[in-house]
């Protein structure tokens, strides 16, 4: 748990009512982004961030720090996302199923701005098209930056299941974005019998799932195979885009609603 969160929780427990609002507002943007991308509806996302923060406010005094505040909040938000999906589909919906990257700070040229806009829209579409069990893993791991263990805790599944879903989600999104990466020569060489599933292998490498020997073999193959080098490059590019997703704040109107709801909750809980 972040030190700042610990301090705010302790302050709240010692009677600092403003600490509650500061703590929850700190995490509101991530919860809102998650709700927006999972539900794909701004009004639903607004409801989710408000419901999540109010539920957290009611339960925060009993919070014991077994997990981080952000992990706890995403778990609450996910439960509200599931409820929204159930309501939208009119039936019970389950999310369970079988089974470096620096961004340039240089100002882009006008044509690059247009290309980036198109690429950003394509990324949004690719993420939105994922089945929910894959979308939530990609959002939490690659967009919000949580660890695989934190994602497993939120989704109440094993770390291995998280990684399996993550590898599939990354491969699907990368494949849909590949046409936007003209600098990578996908036709530079044909696939050979020696070519591994390089995208899946590189994703496993990023999650620390392959040993030193396998890593060395992959590196040697990529150095001599333009096709596989291109596959690795496009996955790196895709993950860079995910991590560079806009960090926009909760819309002002939603912030005002949440702040008022928190004030009402504190007033209701304060003895007369």
**Does residue 148 have a pLDDT over 90?**
yes
pLDDT (tens digit, 9 = 90+) per residue, 79-133? 999 888 776 554 433 333 333 323 333 433 444 445 567 888 899 999 999 999 9
Q: Which tens digits make up the pLDDT trace of 194-210? A: 788 889 999 999 999 98
- Return phi, psi of residue 193, to 5°: -65, -25
- Which pLDDT tens digit goes with each residue over 5-37? 888 888 877 777 788 878 888 888 899 999 999
Say what the pLDDT of residue 42 is. 87
CA separation for the pair 71, 202 (Å, rounded):
26
Distance CA 85, CA 199 (A): 31
Q: Is the pTM of this model over 0.95?
A: no
* pLDDT average, residue stretch 62-70: 81
Report residue 10 as tokens: 């302790």
Gap between the Cα atoms of 250 and 258, Å rounded: 10
Q: Tell me the CA end-to-end span of the chain in Å, nearest whole number.
A: 34
pLDDT for the residue 62:
75
Q: Is 167 a residue whose pLDDT tops 90?
A: yes
Nearest 5 degrees, angle CA 196-CA 199-CA 200?
80
The better pLDDT of the pair 47, 105 is held by 47
Whether the pLDDT of residue 38 is over 50: the answer is: yes
Query: With left for phi above 0 and alpha for psi between -120 and 50, is residue 15 left, alpha or beta?
Result: left
Dist CA 36 CA 81 (whole Å) = 9
Per-residue tokens: 95:
């999310």
| Mean pLDDT on 34-63 | 87
Structure confidence at residue 158 (pLDDT): 96
Computed over its alpha carbons, how large is the radius of gyration of the chain? 21
Residue 188 has pLDDT above 70, yes or no: no
How confident is the model at residue 230, as a pLDDT? 87
* pLDDT of amino acid 109: 44
Residue 66 is predicted with a pLDDT of 77
Note the pLDDT of residue 115.
56
Report all structural domains of the chain as residue ranges with CATH numbers, in order of start.
Answer: 3-94+247-269 (1.10.1740.10), 110-243 (1.10.10.10)
Measured N-to-C along each axis, helices 252-269 and 17-39 cross at an angle, to the nearest 10 degrees, of 130
Tell me what pLDDT residue 88 has.
Answer: 59
CA distance 42 to 125: 15
29 neighbors 252 (Cβ within 8 angstroms): no
Enter the tokens of residue 67: 């997990």
- On whether the CB atoms of residues 258 and 53 are closer than 8 A, the answer is yes
Statement: residue 73 has pLDDT above 70: yes
Mean pLDDT of 159-163: 97
Determine what percent of the chain is predicted with pLDDT higher than 70: 81
Q: Mean pLDDT score of the chain, rounded to an integer? A: 80
């Amino acid at each position: 748990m972040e030190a700042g969160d610990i301090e705010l929780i302790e302050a709240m427990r010692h009677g600092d009512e403003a600490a509650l609002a500061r703590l929850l507002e700190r995490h509101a943007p991530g919860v809102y982004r998650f709700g927006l991308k999972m539900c794909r509806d701004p009004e639903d996302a607004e409801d989710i961030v408000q419901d999540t923060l109010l539920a957290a406010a009611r339960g925060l005094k009993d919070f014991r720090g077994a997990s981080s505040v952000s992990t706890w909040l995403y778990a609450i938000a996910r439960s509200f996302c599931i409820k929204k999906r159930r309501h939208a589909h009119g039936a019970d919906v389950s999310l369970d199923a079988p089974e470096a990257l620096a961004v340039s700070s240089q100002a882009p040229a006008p044509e690059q701005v247009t290309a980036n806009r198109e690429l950003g829209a394509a990324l949004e579409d690719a993420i939105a098209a994922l089945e929910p069990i894959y979308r939530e893993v990609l959002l939490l791991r690659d967009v919000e930056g949580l660890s695989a263990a934190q994602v497993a805790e939120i989704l109440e599944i094993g770390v291995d299941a998280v990684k399996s879903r993550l590898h599939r989600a990354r491969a699907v999104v990368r494949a849909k974005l590949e046409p936007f990466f003209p600098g990578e020569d996908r036709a530079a060489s044909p696939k050979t019998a020696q070519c591994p599933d390089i995208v899946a292998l590189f994703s496993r490498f990023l999650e620390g799932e392959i040993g030193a020997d396998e890593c060395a073999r992959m590196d040697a193959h990529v150095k001599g195979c333009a096709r596989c080098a291109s596959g690795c490059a496009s996955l790196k590019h895709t993950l860079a885009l995910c991590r560079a997703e806009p960090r926009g704040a909760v819309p002002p109107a939603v912030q005002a609603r949440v702040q008022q709801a928190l004030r009402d909750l504190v007033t209701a809980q304060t003895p007369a």
